[in-house]
Amino acid sequence: MNGFVKGRVDVKKTIISLLLIVVLEFIAFYMIGPAINVCNVGFWIFQSIFVGIFLLTTFKQISVNQIGYNVLTKVSGGFIILAAVIVVIGSVYSAKIFHAGKYSSLIEVEKKDFATDMPSSEKDVNDIALMDTASAKVVGQRAIGSLSDVISQYEISDSYSTIDFDGEPMKVASLEYAGFFKWINNRSQGVPGYVFVDPVKFEAKYVKLDKAIKYTPSGFFNDNLYRHLRFQYPTYMFEGYYFEVDNEGNPYYICPVLKPHVGLFGAYDVKGIVLCDPCTGKSQYYKVGEIPNWVDRVYDGDLATRKYNWYGTLSGGFINSIIGQKGCKMSTDDYGYKVIDGDVWVYTGVTSVIGDQSNVGFVLINARTCEAIYYTIAGAEEYSAMDAAEGQVQNLGYKAAFPSLINIDGEPTYFMVLKDKSKLVKMYAMVNYKKYSIVATGTTQKDTLANYKKLLKTNNISKGKSEDLYKTKEIVVDSVKYIEMSGETFCYITDADGNVYKQLFAENESLIFVKEGDTLTVKYEESEDGINSLTSYERKENATSISGE
C-alpha cells in the first residue's frame, strides 16, 4: 500500500482523552454555566470548543506514517460543522428581515391622552420618587455606616431595584460579600440583611433578617446564586437576577426566563420567572400570567425598551424601517422607573429614528405585565431637559439625574434632582416638556413647584387652575430674616401670629423694603411644614400701596 494504511485507534488513549475533555468541560460549565439549550448560541459555541479539543487529541493518535480517520474523529468534525451550520442558518432565519411582523407584535401599545390619563401633581409633589441609583448608593451606605460588624465584612450591592412596597415606592438592595476572603470568613453565617432606601424622603433603613441569605451573586462556588440556579434549571435561559422583597419583607431573587419567538435565536421574550428564596435556596417557576402580584420586575428596562423599539421600527415592515422609515420611532437612550398605582413602570421618551434632540411622545411599560401606554406629545428629550436644568445652576456645578415625567395642570413636566459631586441631592428642577427653556429650581420640591407654576403663568401656559391653591390675608410683620442656602438667598417673613412666609430673594428684590411692623396683604401657598411659599405681597404705608410681585 506504498506506506499508506488505514489509521488505527489507540482505544486506551482515546478513552483517556475523552475522560479528560469531559472533566475539563464540566469544570468550564461549573465556572461559566451556559444554558444547555439549542436556542442558546452560547451553548453551541461552548460545546464546539470542547469537541474541537477532543478532535485534535484523537487526530494526533494516528501515526505520522498513516493516513485515515477514525470514527470518533469523523463524529467530532461532523458536530463542529453541524453546530456552525445551525448557528449561521438559525441566525439568518431568525433575522428581522424575514419576520418583522412577529418582532413588532411582541408588545401591544395603547395610546392615551396625557392630560386626562396621567394623575395630576399640581397640588403636591412631595410623594414623587426622584432618587436615582447613584444617590441611593450614597444614602444606603449611611444606613450601615455605623454598623461596624456589617460595614467591615459586607458592602451594598450596586444593583438597586425599584419596587412598590406596601403602596410606597422604594429602592432595595441586598448586602454582598466584600470579596473572596470576606466570603470565607462569613459564609457559615451568610449575608445578614438588606437595605431599604426611600426615594421620596431620601432616607435609608437597614433590615436585619432572622434567617441570613445563603445564595447571592457575590458568593463563590456553590453559594453563588447564578451557579445554584443553573444546576437547578440547566436548560433555562435567564435574563437577569433582580433582588426584591415581598409584602412581608422576605427577600427573593426574581429570575426571568427567556425563549425565542422567531426561529432558534430571534425575538427573545420572557416566558416566565424563577422565584428563588436566597435564604433556603428553594426555587419555583411561574409562567407569565401566573406570577404573584407583589413581583414588580419581570421585564427589565432594557428588554422592555427593546420590545418597544421592535414595535416602533418594524410595524410598517422591514423595508420601511430601512428605506422609507414612515412612522418609525424608537425610545431614547435611557429610561427610568416610576411607581404608579402599586405597579412599577419603565418610562422612556420616544423620538424619531433620525435621532434628533426632540421627542414625539413617551411610553410607559409595566415592568410586571409589559402593558405599554403611549402618549403623543412633542417636546424635549430627557438629556436636553437635563442640560437645561444644569444650565440654571452652572455656577454651582450640580448635575441632573434622569428625570421623572409628571403632570402639572395638564402640562407634561420633567422633574429631577440636582446633585453635587458627592452624589448628594442639593436642589430640584422642573423643566417644561414642550418648551424646555422654561426651567424652575428650588431647594425643596414644594418651592420648585411654586416657582414652576409662576413661570407657567408668566409664559401664559397656566390654565388658571393653580390659582385656587393660593390664599390671601393681611398680616403684621414681626421679623424679617435672610438665609442663604445652596448659594441662593431666601427671605423669611414671620407675622405677629407666628406664621412664616418664604420667598427666593432673587425673584422679588422689593422684599428688601419690608420691615418689622409693616402691614402686608400677602398671597401665598400654604405648606404642611408651617413655612408658607410667598407668591406676592402688597405693603400699606401712609395710605400708599407698594406691591411686590
Question: So where are the chain's domains?
Answer: 11-93, 108-128+316-463, 133-298, 469-548
User: How many angstroms separate the CA atoms of 156 and 135, rounded?
Assistant: 13
**Tens-digit pLDDT profile for residues 494-516:** 999 999 999 888 778 889 999 99
Residue range 290-314: mean pLDDT, rounded? 95
Is CATH 1.10.1060.10 correct for 469-548? no
**Mean pLDDT score of the chain, rounded to an integer?**
87
Per-residue pLDDT for 459 more than 60?
A: yes
For residue 124, the model assigns a pLDDT of 60
- Please tell me which residue, 55 or 229, carries the higher pLDDT value: 229
Residue range 367-390: mean pLDDT, rounded? 93
Q: How confident is the model at residue 392 (pLDDT cuts 50, 70, 90)?
A: very high
Per-residue pLDDT for 27 more than 60?
A: yes
For residue 423, the model assigns a pLDDT of 86
User: How many angstroms separate the CA atoms of 34 and 20, rounded?
Assistant: 20
Q: How confident is the model at residue 366 (pLDDT cuts 50, 70, 90)?
A: very high
Residue range 45-55: mean pLDDT, rounded? 91
Lowest mean pLDDT among 58-72, 171-185, 202-216, 307-321: 58-72
Percentage of the chain beyond pLDDT 90 is: 59
Residue range 368-391: mean pLDDT, rounded? 93
For residue 184, the model assigns a pLDDT of 95
For residue 127, the model assigns a pLDDT of 64
Cell numbers describing residue 224: 453563588
For residue 324, the model assigns a pLDDT of 85
Per-residue pLDDT for 267 more than 80?
A: yes
Residue range 342-358: mean pLDDT, rounded? 84
Q: Do 275 and 244 touch, CB atoms closer than 8 A?
A: no
User: How many angstroms separate the CA atoms of 242 and 301, rounded?
Assistant: 12
Q: How confident is the model at residue 277 (pLDDT cuts 50, 70, 90)?
A: very high
Torsion angles phi and psi, residue 444, rounded to 5: -130, 160
For residue 238, the model assigns a pLDDT of 97
User: How many angstroms separate the CA atoms of 315 and 312, rounded?
Assistant: 6
Q: How confident is the model at residue 356 (pLDDT cuts 50, 70, 90)?
A: low
Cell numbers describing residue 164: 412598590
Lowest mean pLDDT among 220-229, 364-373, 484-493: 484-493
**Tens-digit pLDDT profile for residues 126-184:** 667 788 888 888 888 888 887 877 888 999 998 999 999 988 899 999 999 999 999 99
Which stretch of DSSP H or E encloses residue 121? none
Select from 453, 452, 445 the least CA-distant residue to 425: 445
User: How many angstroms separate the CA atoms of 114 and 322, rounded?
Assistant: 31
- Please tell me which residue, 25 or 548, carries the higher pLDDT value: 25
* One-letter amino acid for residue 196 of the chain: F
Lowest mean pLDDT among 176-180, 211-215, 233-237, 456-460: 456-460
Q: What's the whole-model pTM score?
A: 0.81
User: How many angstroms separate the CA atoms of 495 and 519, rounded?
Assistant: 9
Q: How many CB atoms lie within 10 A of CB 466?
A: 20
Residue range 100-123: mean pLDDT, rounded? 87
Per-residue pLDDT for 544 more than 80?
A: no
Cβ neighbours for 71, distance < 8 A, ≥ 6 positions apart: 9
User: How many angstroms separate the CA atoms of 264 and 216, rounded?
Assistant: 31
Per-residue pLDDT for 217 more than 60?
A: yes
For residue 365, the model assigns a pLDDT of 97
Per-residue pLDDT for 8 more than 60?
A: no
For residue 6, the model assigns a pLDDT of 46
Torsion angles phi and psi, residue 211, rounded to 5: -120, 120
For residue 2, the model assigns a pLDDT of 44
Question: Can you say how many angstroms the Cα of residue 74 is from the centroid of all Cα atoms in its chain?
Answer: 50
User: Would you call 53 exposed, middle or buried from its count of C-beta atoms within 10 A (0-12, 13-18, 19+)?
Assistant: middle
Residue range 228-247: mean pLDDT, rounded? 96
Q: Do 353 and 338 touch, CB atoms closer than 8 A?
A: no
